[in-house]
Amino acid sequence: MASWFLNNKKSWFICIFTFVIAAVSYWFLPDRIPMHFNSQGIADSYSGKVEIFLMPVIQAVLIFFSGRKKVKDWFLSMPPFADEVKYYLLVFAVTAMLLAGELTILLYCLG
């Protein structure tokens, strides 16, 4: 299991998957989509449908910079992320949470 998280390949896969979902669903979305939900699960902030691509862009930037040596070395110098498995697992988890946010928006919009 540990060696499964020693690179960003899984995170890049999730990023590409999120982008494909956004590209396909873009044509079926209303002109305004929810971008924030309150504690009752009701949308309270809306934006243009082009912002469906916001999550894949954030994922790509996160994964790109997490692969840079200086960023990685900086994180690995902190005690909670002192090994590479935890570091890449953190990147994977944040990428997966952004995918979950994207799916929540799509499910809310598409029914």
Mean pLDDT of 25-48: 88
Could you tell me the pTM of the whole model?
0.84
Residues 6+ apart with CB under 8 A from 111: none
Torsion angle defined by CA atoms of residues 73, 74, 79 and 85, in that order, rounded to the nearest 10 degrees: -40
pLDDT at residue 4, as a whole number: 58
Q: How many residues does the chain have?
A: 111
pLDDT at residue 5, as a whole number: 60
Residue 2's pLDDT band (boundaries 50, 70, 90)? low
SS3 93: helix
Q: pLDDT tens digits for 38-94? A: 888 888 888 999 999 999 999 999 999 988 888 888 888 888 777 888 888 889 999
Where are the alpha helices (H) located in 32-68, listed in sequence order? Answer: 54-66
* C-beta separation of 18 from 59 below 8 A: yes
pLDDT at residue 100, as a whole number: 94
Q: How far apart are CA 28 and CA 31, in angstroms?
A: 9
